[in-house]
Amino acid sequence: MSAIASPFLRKVLALDAVASGATGVLLAFGAGPLSGLLGLSPMLMRPAGLFLAPYALLVAWMASRQSLPRGAVWAVVIANAVWVIESVILIAAGWVQPTLLGALFICAQAAVVATFGLLQFAALRHNRSVAAI
C-alpha cells in the first residue's frame, strides 16, 4: 500500500486532532455540568469523550508524519464516517431526547466531523490521481 506525502492532508488531520481533542475534553470532563444543558446523559458523553482522547492523539501523531500510509488515512476517514452515522442515528432513532441546544451540538459536531472526513477522502483521491499521472 502506498504512502501519501500531502501537506494539505497533514493540515486536515491536525485540525481533526485539535477538534477531536477539544470535544473529548469537553465531553469527558464537562459531562456532569453539560448534562442538563444538552439533555444528554453523562453516561453517554463521558465515554465518548474518553474515546476521543486516544483518537485525537493518534490523528495528531499521523499529522506530524511527513509520509502517511494510505490505509491509516482510510481508517481515519472510516472512523469519521462511523461517528457521523452514529450521531445521526442517535437522534433519528430516538435513543436520546436532547434539548434543542443538545440536538444542535450533536448536529454541529457531526457536520464538523463529516467535513474532516470529506476533506481527508478528497486528499486521498487527489493523491491517487496525481500518482497515476
| Tens-digit pLDDT profile for residues 39-70 | 999 999 999 999 999 999 999 999 999 999 99
Q: What pLDDT is stored for residue 131 in this prediction? A: 46
Determine the structural domain holding residue 37 and report its residue range. Answer: 3-132
- Reading the block at residue 87, the C-alpha cell is 450521531
Q: With 70 as the cut, is the pLDDT of residue 132 above it?
A: no
- Mean pLDDT of the 82-109 span: 97
Helix (H) or strand (E) holding 28: helix 7-38
- Mean pLDDT of the 82-100 span: 96
pTM: 0.89
Residues 6+ apart with CB under 8 A from 91: 98, 103, 106, 107
Print burial letters for 81-116: b (CB count within 10 Å at least 16), e (below 16).
eebbeebeebbeeeeeebeeebbebbeebbebbbbb
Alpha-carbon gap, residue 98 to 91, rounded angstroms: 8
Alpha-carbon gap, residue 72 to 16, rounded angstroms: 14
**Number of domains comprising the chain:** 1
Q: What pLDDT is stored for residue 55 in this prediction? A: 97
